[in-house]
Amino acid sequence: MRLDFASMCPPVFRFRSAPLLAVVASFVLGACSNNPYPPAQQALREDGSPWLVRYGAMPEDPRSLDPQVCYDSVGKRILEPIQECLLEYHPFKTSPYELRPCLLTALPEKVERAEGGAIYRCTLQQGIYFHDDPCFPNGKGRELVAEDVRFAFQRMADPKVECPALSTLQDYVAGLGEAFESARKAGSFDYGKPLAGLQVTGRYTFEVHLSQPYPQILYWLAMPFAAPVAKEAVEYYDGKSHDGVARDHFRFHPVGTGPFRIAEWKRNSAIRLVRNPAYHTTRFPEDGWMPDQEALLRPLAGRSLPLVDEVHMTIFRETIPIFMLFRQGYLDGMGLGKDAFSSLMTPDRNLSPKYQERGVALHRDTEPSTFYMSLNMEDPILGPNRKLRQALSAAFNTQAYLDIFHNSVPIVAQQLLPPGIGGFQPDFRNPYGFDLAKAKALLAEAGYPNGRDASGKILELTFDVNANSADERLSAEFEQKQFEQLGIKIRVVENTFARLMEKLDQGSFQIASGSGWSADYPDPENFYFLYYSKNLPPAGKNASRYKNPEYDRIFEKMAVMENSPERQDLARHLTALLSEDVPHILLMHRSLFALTQPWAPRIQSNPMLEGGLKYVVLNNELRDQKRREWNRQALWPLGLLLGSLLLGTATAVRSYRKA
């Protein structure tokens, strides 16, 4: 039987319309591709070479790009290439970390201060200009001068700015805390008043005055908090109207001196950075890389930066689309989260052969961070009973915890200091790491044989956890079971994040999860201060309320010393004290897997840099080739779909006409 589609179809679907439909369909498909990006700013550079665009992902919009405010990793990742700092980390030297001048001509010169403390003398490089921006006369960026650094330090003390570094730096930078308090009382900050802690001594020279010794100030000079800011930019972009146009705040319009500037920021969608053609502050390092990178990096040594022309950062709130775009070649790299872990990794924690064949490379990045559970030293049961704390620590199988809840990616923490921080001992083993037999023996020595006290009553402890998700509840259940292997009873108390923070501040807990510290700078002081007795909550971070005069004495000495073998010894001593006193149950140093495409090899993995965008390299030709190969469109499924729709419609019409 021959089907007469023409007579079955309504007029619009009759075959005389079919060519038109086919043309429309092919036009729609022809206009469509699965490339989600707009065209690059330009196709070629001035010299005719390809314009290189780096494609990356980030989880949300930066909350603030104000250098004196930005403290979160998303913001820092965008701000780092825009707003350069006085000093910077060498991208390749991470053991130990090395600071090198960025906007300064050399590392600051330290001299003693007559009133006590120290003075750091700094000289800015000459001929560095802010990005061209409408905030400057004729839109041309002006030269960077020492007054811009003073303005930045004054902004730190302005209560309206909300600088997170203030609470630490006000203890050291002369006059910073007083300036904050007086502005708070007056209701506004007086930028005309001099700041004792930052004295401008010439057009390009200035001094940082510290009221007490604080060698870590150099690390702060490598953070955006101390990065110079043009007063014109803040005054122009402060939310006011100019020429009848309402402008955004300065926090969304950073005007820096860095290798990139923001070309476009589509809120909730993407940020596009383009190279600053006038950038000449730093060049590609000439040494410091690993020997196996010699062939790749030697040709780049001393080259002007940045190495790519444009950076397109897309905001992804879900991880599945990241994985999809990476597979299609539309992302140059991605972090490996839980969702894609099983698809990409083999059970022995290697990249699956399918992706190895594609040329994808796997990297394991360990953050300079340590996570732990806090034990309350002021608790009447835990505080005076060191053996009990040791038993709890030895009962916890951290490796099993990491295997189950973190895909075995992080490293079991053996000490408070993470790898890479001065004083870290690679061979050190936590004397109260997992050993159930030892834990039971310690518990008996603590006065609780088989988990019972002298009267036969089972020891019961509360365990405060942050439980916002099913994963966190499962994790809490696992942790509870670990402790209960001792025969004791653990009562889990579920909290929101904020409530748990409140409990840690108030000291109203026995055992609490959710404690951890990520390095602001790679110095042991930045970790050991967590257990300094003068750093108690709510102002400080010593949530365990650990008080040990010997620890304090050594910490005070170590904190103000320059790096030296003697300082390393003191750091080791502090580790030994904490390991024996057990004010915490150590968990992990957070590690993450990251993947890079074959055209975007990873050249540095310094965790103190936020991406190091000025150093990234790219093989444009290879990327274009792979993208074409991986994204071929098949037209037959579309034909099949249209055919099915037409057939369905025809059948319906036919049955209608029959009726």
Burial class of 399 by CB neighbour count within 10 A (0 to 12, 13 to 18, 19+):
middle
Query: Going residue by residue from 16 to 35, which x/- string records binding to another protein, judged by CB under 8 A?
Result: ------------xx-xxxxx
Euclidean distance between CA atoms 221 and 225, whole angstroms: 8
Task: For residue 552, give the H/E element and its range.
Answer: helix 549-559
Minimum Å gap between C-beta 203 and another protein is 33
Of 487 and 537, the one with the shorter C-beta distance to another protein is: 537
Of 425 and 518, the one with the shorter C-beta distance to another protein is: 518
Paired tokens of 564: 């030296």
Per CB under 8 A, the list member of 43, 114, 295, 498 interacting with another protein is 498
Residues 268-287 that bind another protein (CB under 8 A): 268-270
Euclidean distance between CA atoms 246 and 97, whole angstroms: 44
Euclidean distance between CA atoms 118 and 111, whole angstroms: 6
Is 516 a binder of another protein (CB under 8 A)?
A: yes
Minimum Å gap between C-beta 441 and another protein is 35
Of 159 and 598, the one with the shorter C-beta distance to another protein is: 159
Given the rule CB under 8 A, which of 113-121, 136-144, 277-285, 313-321 is the region that contacts another protein?
A: 313-321
DSSP assignment string, 250-273: GGGS----SSEEEEEEETTTEEEE
Is 44 a binder of another protein (CB under 8 A)?
A: no
CB of 312 closer than 8 Å to CB of 579: no
Bridge partners, 199 (sequence order):
207
CB of 411 closer than 8 Å to CB of 426: no
Is 415 a binder of another protein (CB under 8 A)?
A: no
Minimum Å gap between C-beta 77 and another protein is 16
Minimum Å gap between C-beta 317 and another protein is 5
Euclidean distance between CA atoms 560 and 569, whole angstroms: 14
Minimum Å gap between C-beta 656 and another protein is 6
CA dist list (Å): 105 to 100, 102, 128: 9, 7, 11
CB of 615 closer than 8 Å to CB of 604: yes
Of 126 and 655, the one with the shorter C-beta distance to another protein is: 655
Is 327 a binder of another protein (CB under 8 A)?
A: yes
Per CB under 8 A, the list member of 63, 140, 298, 491 interacting with another protein is 63
Residues 67-106 that bind another protein (CB under 8 A): 71-72
Q: Which residues are within 8 A (CB) of 474 and not within 5 positions of it... i.e. 6 or more apart?
A: 405
Per CB under 8 A, the list member of 25, 119, 315, 444 interacting with another protein is 315
Of 36 and 449, the one with the shorter C-beta distance to another protein is: 36
Residues 167-196 that bind another protein (CB under 8 A): 167, 184
Bridge partners, 242 (sequence order):
245
SS3 (DSSP) at 401: helix
SS3 (DSSP) at 603: coil
CB of 235 closer than 8 Å to CB of 222: no
612: left (phi over 0), alpha (psi -120 to 50) or beta: left
Is 320 a binder of another protein (CB under 8 A)?
A: yes
Of 301 and 320, the one with the shorter C-beta distance to another protein is: 320
Per CB under 8 A, the list member of 24, 106, 404, 539 interacting with another protein is 539
Euclidean distance between CA atoms 299 and 301, whole angstroms: 6
Paired tokens of 28: 């729609």
Bridge partners, 169 (sequence order):
none
Given the rule CB under 8 A, which of 107-115, 295-303, 322-330, 414-422 is the region that contacts another protein?
A: 322-330
Per CB under 8 A, the list member of 5, 51, 316, 405 interacting with another protein is 316
Is 512 a binder of another protein (CB under 8 A)?
A: no
> CA nearest 85: which of 281, 203, 226, 279?
226
Q: Applying CB under 8 A, what is the total number of residues that bind another protein?
A: 65
Q: Where are the alpha helices (DSSP H) in 38-122?
A: 73-79
Is 252 a binder of another protein (CB under 8 A)?
A: yes
Residues 607-636 that bind another protein (CB under 8 A): 631-634
Is 427 a binder of another protein (CB under 8 A)?
A: no
Q: Which residues are within 8 A (CB) of 609 and not within 5 positions of it... i.e. 6 or more apart?
A: 80, 89, 91
Is 160 a binder of another protein (CB under 8 A)?
A: yes
Given the rule CB under 8 A, which of 156-164, 384-392, 406-414, 428-436 is the region that contacts another protein?
A: 156-164
Is 643 a binder of another protein (CB under 8 A)?
A: no
CB atoms < 10 A from the CB of 506, how many?
11
Query: Going residue by residue from 218 to 247, which x/- string records binding to another protein, judged by CB under 8 A?
Result: ---------------------x--------
> CA nearest 149: which of 45, 229, 216, 246?
229
Minimum Å gap between C-beta 271 and another protein is 12
Minimum Å gap between C-beta 107 and another protein is 27
372: left (phi over 0), alpha (psi -120 to 50) or beta: beta
Per CB under 8 A, the list member of 502, 572, 573, 602 interacting with another protein is 502
Binding site residues, another protein, CB under 8 A: 28-29, 31-38, 60-61, 63-64, 71-72, 159-160, 162, 164, 166-167, 184, 239, 248-249, 251-252, 266-270, 314-318, 320-321, 324-325, 327-328, 496-499, 501-502, 505, 516, 538-539, 541, 631-634, 637-638, 652, 655-656, 659
